[in-house]
Copies of this chain bind each other. A is one copy, B any other.
């Protein structure tokens, strides 16, 4: 199975209470690809500049991600983000965002990328997401992410993109903002009215919840990590685990969707243990499956009959 992901490939400058990195490989497509490549063949689509070298390609190709459609823009500079996380790592300040080669990005997918079974539209301008969506007619499953910026300045376009996908993965607060519904169930239903049959609310340190059109609700806490070093990319690693797992399955029933949530949660939890891609680069398959098993243990309780007073 092949997954095509379109999204940012970036250099990140990040400071957290545990240290800083002046310039490391980041971007949604990068984090997604590193996670999803545990499960499926991944093809990454996105623009990079002259400053993007062999070292970065090598990281991106960890576990075999295909970079044929990573577009090198001559004379351009790679997308750059500079952010800082504060004491509790739940709030961050963006010091600088340089779109650079993304400013004029028009995705041109190779036939191989167009033919992918599964497509993930990482958080980029919703018009661009839709262009890619239209090129991938054969995808049997399409998922997407977005962010508050597009809800603020391009809501109509965003909704038109949402209409074309099977699953929307969005931060909890953004889901509420998009729909004007403070209640998660109602917000998810409002999204499903637009088209998707699966809505995943990413809740950061509290985990993630999923609502599906058949009325099923499922929620998982985040895996408790001793030291969260850098949350950058956690949501994209989650998406990579979630979408990647589904890409490798024959069916997308409730049991599989729940397991996909677990794999997403596992990948996200490893992502935050170190800076950027550092932990997931050297992550092993055994570590992934072990964490999913741990996650099953720490969320399980055995219901037992009890006599209550009336």
- A residues within 8 Å of B by Cβ? 37-39, 63-64, 87-90, 176, 182-186, 203, 205-207, 209, 216-221, 224-228, 245, 248, 255, 258-259, 261-262, 284-285, 288-289, 292-293, 296, 298-306, 308-310
* Cβ contact within 8 Å between A226 and B183: yes
Name 16 A/B residue pairs within 8 A (Cβ), A-sorted: A39-B306, A39-B309, A63-B310, A87-B182, A88-B182, A89-B182, A185-B224, A185-B225, A203-B206, A220-B299, A259-B304, A262-B303, A289-B305, A289-B308, A296-B303, A299-B299
Return the chain B residue nearest A228 by Cβ: B183
Contacting residue for A301 out of B90, B183, B255, CB 8 A = B255
Closest CB-CB distance, A193 to chain B, in whole Å?
Answer: 16
Contacts of A300 in B (CB 8 A): 258, 299-300
**Contact present for A176 and B207 (CB under 8 Å):** no
**A206 vs chain B, min Cβ distance (A):** 4
Check B288–A308 contact: CB distance below 8 A.
yes
Bound: A259/B310 CA distance, A: 19
Candidates B64, B176, B309; contact of A64 at CB < 8 Å: B309
B259 and A301 form a contact (CB under 8 A): yes
Please state if B310 and A258 are interface contacts (CB–CB under 8 Å).
no
| Contact, CB under 8 Å: A292 / B284 | no
A299→B259 contact, CB < 8 A: no
Tallying the copies of this chain within the complex gives: 2
A147 to chain B, nearest CB (A): 19
Select A261's contact among B259, B289, B301, B309, beta carbons within 8 Å: B301
CB distance from A59 to the nearest CB of B (A): 16
The complex places the Cα of A290 from the Cα of B83 at a distance, in Å, of: 46
User: Chain B's nearest CB lies how many Å from the CB of A161?
Assistant: 25
For A208, the closest partner residue in chain B by CB is B221
Task: For the complex, give the distance between the alpha carbons of A209 and B225 in Å.
Answer: 13
Q: Given the interface contacts A185-B224, A206-B207, A227-B183, does A219 sit within 8 Å of B298 by beta carbon?
A: yes
Query: Whose C-beta in chain B lies nearest to the C-beta of A63?
Result: B309
The distance in angstroms between the C-alpha atoms of A205 and B182, with both chains bound, is 11
Apart from A218-B299, A258-B302, A296-B303, what 5 extra A-B contacts exist at CB < 8 Å?
Answer: A38-B309, A88-B182, A219-B224, A259-B302, A259-B306
